[in-house]
Structure 1
Amino acid sequence: MHPVAYIPSPSQGVWHLGPVPLRAYAIMIILGIVAAVWLGERRWAAKGGTPGVIIDVAVWAVPFGLVGGRLYHVVTDYQRYFGEGGDPVRALEIWKGGLGIWGAVALGAVGAIIGCRRRGISVLALGDAVAPGIALAQGIGRWGNYWNQELYGRPLDTFWALKIDENHRPMLDGGPGLDPKYADVATYHPTFLYESLWCVGVAILVIWADRRYKLTHGRAFALYVAAYTVGRGWIEALRIDDAHHVLGLRLNDWTSIVVFVCAVAYLYMARGRTGPENVGAPVAAPGDVPVAEESAAKPGTPDDGTAETAAEPADEAPVVEPAAKDEAAKPEAAEDEARAPEAGEPEAAPEPDGGEPEATAVEEPEPAPETAEEDPEPEAKAGEAAEPEGEPEPVAGADAEPESEARSEAPAGEAADEAGENEADGAADHDRVEKGEPVKDGK
């Protein structure tokens, strides 16, 4: 059976650089690991984790995964290496293919747990971050089977069928010759391509579901496992390579069923799990402000210098405003100075009589006696000011207004009434009034 169109197989899967062989199978595995780490780092950073954690954990998980994958393959196909006509040394020839995904995931998880404990982070959170990356790595790694012309499916006669060379077609059990059923069959199901595309679809599904439903605490990883096992089940049923059968199903089919049930059960049990995950403290950038300093920078924090600086304008405001108010209050101060003689006249009035100050003058505050002692000097000034009787403006000063003149005359009248005991001497009364009033207004 030779269809007109098909997918050709590579003529070789290894190249030599001098004594060093470059194997396509190993290159595909390495590319898959690089893709998984790259995608895992991006998703881990999106979770708020510290950059570089995925690489550190991969140092443990990848070697464990490779060993686990090889052990699973050797154990499930032990007759190839330890059976009749087998060679145990071939169990170490990993470059010829033979990595079981279930062993790789199981033992790789052990390495991941070790790496996570060393970094003090949650292995479930890390599993969610790397889940789509693992699926992508599987999709890339499956092309290693293409280069080795292995793990293909039943015969297929269509344009996407994979052509397999004669020396890679199924062999007889326990014999070196080709199986007669496939001796003349050249094209088969490209199961490597089916699984590669399925794995890429699983990676996209996990990324979408994680963004849509916020899958945390290992649920994204469980979704990856459940989705992958569904595809692996029907792809495994197409393969014709040697495998152990249990109750009519290949061993990998039973493994897929058990793992699928476990993954779905975990998704159900963890459906209500929420809350923060331990992803480690991110490393602060050179210009970043630590959280402690950031909280201290809030208003009202006494330890922060910026809070005190922010309060300075409030402290300066009361200093400026009273100054402005004092300038605005100058007219009122002038009026108060004009009224000041009213309080001082009772002290000055008794002096012309030659008598002692009244009792009220003694009870007045301390400034009152000072004004009484300074009265002789103002009397001389008052005499000078008394000459121009008709000019009241010099008496009140430059700041006085006509209104203040009227107020100054009114106290003078009151002083005259209090000193009115000597009504016969009217001129003396007028002198006493003028002596008392200019003393205060002249200042």
Structure 2
Amino acid sequence: MPLLGPSHKQRWGWMEGSDRPQSPQTAGVPQILSRQALNSQTRLLSSARIAHSLRADFVRGMFHPCDADAIALAMYPPVDPVIVEVGPLALRWYGVLMVTAIFTGAWVASRYIKRQGDNPDNLWDMLVWVLVPGFLGARLYYVFVQSPRGTDGLGRYLEHPIEILQFWRGGIHIFGAFIAGSAALWLYTRWHKLPPLRYLDAIALGLPLAQAIGRWGNFINQELYGPPTTLPWGLRIDAQHRLSPYSNLQQYPDSVRFQPLFLYESLWNFIGFGLIFWLSRRFKKQLQPGDILLMYLIWYPLGRFWIEFLRTDSWFFSGTPFNVVHILCAAAILSGAIGLYWRHGRKPAAG
């Protein structure tokens, strides 16, 4: 007696080398399949179905990450922005990461100063005199230059001036920090009779690493994101952290993911730190005071120029995709390139 009846033969016909049910002429042919063969075919079919399902889920996740919760959750802050809160005081991850970034960058800078034959304590002594103006410049630049025009940005700060001082809630800009901090460093070194270019080189060496670390504070605060994306590393942003027009949940529901600009800038700075550090050691005999600063002025603005096109928390010149940062980046890149060429690229005059 055959183990499988005609209905089973039709169901398993494709397993026997056909892509359609068996014909009536072959339906009555006795089929002798052992239970071992049946179990083997069952396992093959189950494996094929599972593989097909996983492949379909992977493809959906690659091209429609809004439907792939497992992928989307990977780009969502795993912790609350506030670590601990006691009365009006709060310890925030943003502050912890910023302090970590500052001291890591300062340690790299102090090691450079020591290699140059100076006392590294000089850098630690000047740190507070550079940081205070730097933070103040970074915050004021963001509020009055970088923040969006309207109630989501400058308008809110003008209506609630106390929020201008609340930098721990996010919203500082590296160009403001660099301008104010560099001016403070120059004045400090002149006052204490230290070589300013050497110390600017030291800061420029450690700064990319500090920036790379600090950008993860933006991740936890759910800020520094770009427009919607279908990339698998899209960032989930809660409604209360979205800027207009993405705060419209009917048009941009919770499933929408956004470009993680903090990640792009962090990776760019990690690479920049590695590159500039290698160049500073590989060509230390050829480099002149100020060269590391010029390299930083080329590398960081180069990446920031392109990232800035995706910013959602900036205002742009009317009818253009450009803003003030693009101008500053272009000026910095040009200055750095001309400076390095002037120092190293010109042919010596014939004597």
TM-score (norm 2): 0.71
Q: Is the 8 A contact 1:172 1:179 kept in 2?
A: no
1:30 paired residue among 96, 99, 116: 99
Q: How far apart are residue 130 of structure 1 and its match?
A: 2.2
Counterpart of 2:231 in structure 1 is 158
Residues 72-95 of structure 1: per-residue CA shift (max 9 Å, x gap): 111113642447984222212211
Residues 30-84 of structure 1: per-residue CA shift (max 9 Å, x gap): 1111001110111110111113111112121111110110111111136424479
Q: How far apart are residue 189 of structure 1 and its match?
A: 1.4
1:3 paired residue among 59, 62, 68: 68
- Is 1:106 matched up with 2:174? no
| Higher CA-based Rg | 1
Question: Alpha carbons of 1:255 and 1:82: their partners in 2 closer, same or farther (altered >3 Å)?
Answer: same
Cα distance in structure 1, aligned partners of 2:193 and 2:314: 43
> What pairs up with 1:279-318 in 2 under 5 angstroms?
none
Cα distance in structure 2, aligned partners of 1:84 and 1:169: 17
1:244 paired residue among 282, 294, 316: 316
Cα distance in structure 2, aligned partners of 1:58 and 1:268: 31
Cα distance in structure 1, aligned partners of 2:129 and 2:261: 30
Counterpart of 1:13 in structure 2 is 81
Letter in structure 2 aligned against 1:208: W
2:333 paired residue among 260, 263, 266: 260
> What pairs up with 1:326-345 in 2 under 5 angstroms?
none
Q: Is the 8 A contact 2:229 2:257 kept in 1?
A: yes
Counterpart of 1:49 in structure 2 is 118
Cα distance in structure 2, aligned partners of 1:187 and 1:105: 32
> What pairs up with 1:93-242 in 2 under 5 angstroms?
93-172=166-245, 178=248, 181-214=251-284, 215-242=287-314
Counterpart of 2:144 in structure 1 is 75
Any stretches of 5+ residues in structure 2 without a counterpart? 1-65, 347-351
Which of 1 and 2 has higher RCO (CA within 8 Å, sep 6+)? 2
Cα distance in structure 2, aligned partners of 1:195 and 1:217: 27
Q: How far apart are residue 136 of structure 1 and its match?
A: 0.8
Q: How far apart are residue 181 of structure 1 and its match?
A: 4.1
Q: Is the 8 A contact 2:239 2:249 kept in 1?
A: no
Q: How far apart are residue 2 of structure 1 and its match?
A: 3.4
Q: How far apart are residue 196 of structure 1 and its match?
A: 0.7
Cα distance in structure 2, aligned partners of 1:132 and 1:37: 9
Q: Is the 8 A contact 2:315 2:323 kept in 1?
A: yes
Cα distance in structure 1, aligned partners of 2:112 and 2:197: 13
Cα distance in structure 2, aligned partners of 1:2 and 1:28: 32
Q: Is the 8 A contact 2:109 2:202 kept in 1?
A: yes
- Cα RMSD, aligned residues only: 2.3
Cα distance in structure 2, aligned partners of 1:84 and 1:201: 35
Q: Is the 8 A contact 1:136 1:203 kept in 2?
A: yes
Letter in structure 1 aligned against 2:266: S
Cα distance in structure 1, aligned partners of 2:68 and 2:324: 32
Q: How far apart are residue 186 of structure 1 and its match?
A: 2.9
Q: Is the 8 A contact 2:215 2:262 kept in 1?
A: yes
Cα distance in structure 2, aligned partners of 1:102 and 1:248: 19
Q: Is the 8 A contact 1:69 1:99 kept in 2?
A: yes
Q: How far apart are residue 184 of structure 1 and its match?
A: 4.7
Cα distance in structure 1, aligned partners of 2:105 and 2:192: 19
> Equivalent residue of 1:263, what SS?
helix
Counterpart of 1:308 in structure 2 is none
Q: How far apart are residue 112 of structure 1 and its match?
A: 0.8
Q: Is the 8 A contact 1:3 1:158 kept in 2?
A: no
Q: How far apart are residue 131 of structure 1 and its match?
A: 1.3
TM-score (norm 1): 0.57
Letter in structure 1 aligned against 2:283: Y
- Is 1:270 matched up with 2:343? yes
Cα distance in structure 2, aligned partners of 1:116 and 1:122: 6
